[in-house]
Amino acid sequence: MKKLSPLQIERLKYQPKLPSSLAKGINSLELIEGAPTQSVRDQAQIHELFKNTYGKPVVTFKNSIKTSASTVRNVGVILSGGQAPGGHNVIAGLYDALKQANSANKLYGFLGGPSGIIDGKYVEFTDEFINDYRNTGGFDIIGSGRTKLETEEQFQKSLEVCKKLNISAVVIIGGDDSNTNAALLAEWFVKNNAGIQVIGCPKTIDGDLKNEQIEISFGFDTATKTYAELIGNIQRDANSAKKYWHFIKIMGRSASHVALEAALQTQPNITLISEEVEQKKMSLESIVNYMTDIIVKRSNMGKNFGIAVIPEGLIEFIPEMKSMIANLNDIMASLETDPSFVNATTIREKFDIVENRLDPANAKVYNSLPALIKGQLLADRDPHGNVQVSKIETEKLLIEMIQTKLDEIKSQGEYIGKFSPQSHFFGYEGRCAFPSNFDADYCYSLGFNAFALINFGLTGYLSSVRNLTAPAAEWVAGGVPLTMMMNMEKRHGEMKPVIQKALVELNGPVFKQLEQNREDWAMNDRYLFPGAIQYFGPSCVCDVTTCTLQLERAKSLASV
């Protein structure tokens, strides 16, 4: 028998809360349709690509006094992309709703991500199987993967596997790219009269899959609380030793929501926000000068210590770096098959080849970087063919450049302090944590709700649960058309439909909270120490959600 920790034993017993509409029974629901929708941008192009699934209404559920019988359905589920706390509960909620609707229903989990539905690798869930994973972190129940579902051959193979298992609906749990694939698959199934529905669930700890209907992506709550605990621990250490500057890079490539939320929970001395850097067109030098100025001022106060939080994707938002990386992304595909590059015997030779291929201005930027960073820019591509920003040690680049700047200031007699930097990267630490009570409830509701959408015959929808700062009983369950969130973007040199990423709004209440306090936090040690996620105790400790969601919902409610 597998040995479990005391916490895991107790978490397995936890019964997640549901919105009252869903809690009263999956077969006692009424569907309420809103007005037709359109995509956020590029309406004509998106409509042309999704002729069969475009323009559907947002839907919500309410209780009905009538109880309807549910036909027997087999459903498949896929975990796609990086892990996020709560994924297991989405599957548990889906399974419970499916079995509640009709005990003859079956749920199949495709193994290893989207490749599972293509290759026909699956497992059938049972009560015993599911019960071992309730309220736990990770995606190990069936594994995940980053295979893209976008080609005719992949769609055809997926159809054959679904027919073999008599599957009439597929649920894809993933982020913006994964749910873009869900939209493409849904459209293909309708176009080809396959009789198979596709429903998505909004997952990403980065927090960049959200809009008015999707208030938060699952996993963000748990991950940011985990990172905030770690930052708080380091702040306590820094405030005790009083001799180290800690540079903490934190997950979030395309948006800075994680860094911003962690900063609001801990109040560090410096917080960089990528979107602000881009809007203000801050150069790498100006960022270094900003950080160095705070370090010198604190040193002059006798404080040779501090905390700097840096978003993972910062380097891509610095205008000259963004231009250079975009240029690099364009040329790397050809370089990876170029004999002169492939057969280069030294890294210096590769640097020279790259510089000769880059546009002159971008080559100058590339040449100015330390060898460590230049090498990291040439590392393996991600599935989209882009630089893997997480492998670029931005925190070490900033430390090296700040050290050089401080040496220059010291030589002029304007700085006599000590600079002892420590670097950290918090990424994997937050992806598979035990889900918070909020994420346990939210994810279970998303899964349960996904089956409600299936039960009403819908396809091309994203499971939506809203009003999330209210008690769970008051949450609003429903669905939003995937095409409603889409626009056209350039990928691999081609314009493709993708779900639009939600970036930090610099005029929004969340960033304004940081902006109003950052000068005070820079000089005065207002450190907060959140501590570990709490699962048992008063609701004000255990069920409280993120600062981001609270601030955004407060603004939303104020505008009503």
Q: Helix, strand, or coil here: 519?
A: helix
Cα–Cα distance, 171 to 76 (Å, whole number): 6
Cα–Cα distance, 383 to 363 (Å, whole number): 25
The answer to whether residues 318 and 277 touch, using CB atoms and an 8 Å cutoff, is: yes
Place of tokens 């291929």: 357
Cα–Cα distance, 428 to 82 (Å, whole number): 10
Place of tokens 């998303």: 446
Q: Please identify which of the residues 206, 208, 221, 441 carries the catalytic annotation.
A: 206
If phi > 0 it is left, if psi is from -120 to 50 it is alpha, else beta; for residue 252 that is left
- Tokens, residue 252: 């979030």
Strand ranges inside 312-440, DSSP E: 421-426
* 245-250 β-sheet, strand order: 270-271, 306-311, 245-250, 421-426
Helical ranges in 32-111 per DSSP H? 43-49, 87-101
Question: Quick one: DSSP state of residue 543?
Answer: T
Pairing of strands 494-499, 486-491: antiparallel
Cβ neighbours of residue 90 closer than 8 Å, sequence gap 6 or more: 173, 201, 203, 218, 443, 444, 446, 447, 450
The answer to whether residues 75 and 107 touch, using CB atoms and an 8 Å cutoff, is: yes
- Tokens, residue 279: 């809007």
293 belongs to the catalytic site: no
CA distances from 441 to 62, 90, 266, 475 (A): 19, 9, 25, 11
Place of tokens 């040496």: 407
CA distances from 32 to 21, 27, 63, 286, 556 (A): 12, 15, 10, 52, 22
Burial 198-220 (b: 16+ CB within 10 A, else e): bbbbbbbbbbbbbbebbbbbbbb
- SS3 breakdown of the chain: % helix, strand, coil, rounded to 5? 45, 15, 35
DSSP string computed for 211-239: -SS----BTHHHHHHHHHHHHHHHHHHHH
Question: Which residues are marked as active site?
Answer: 206
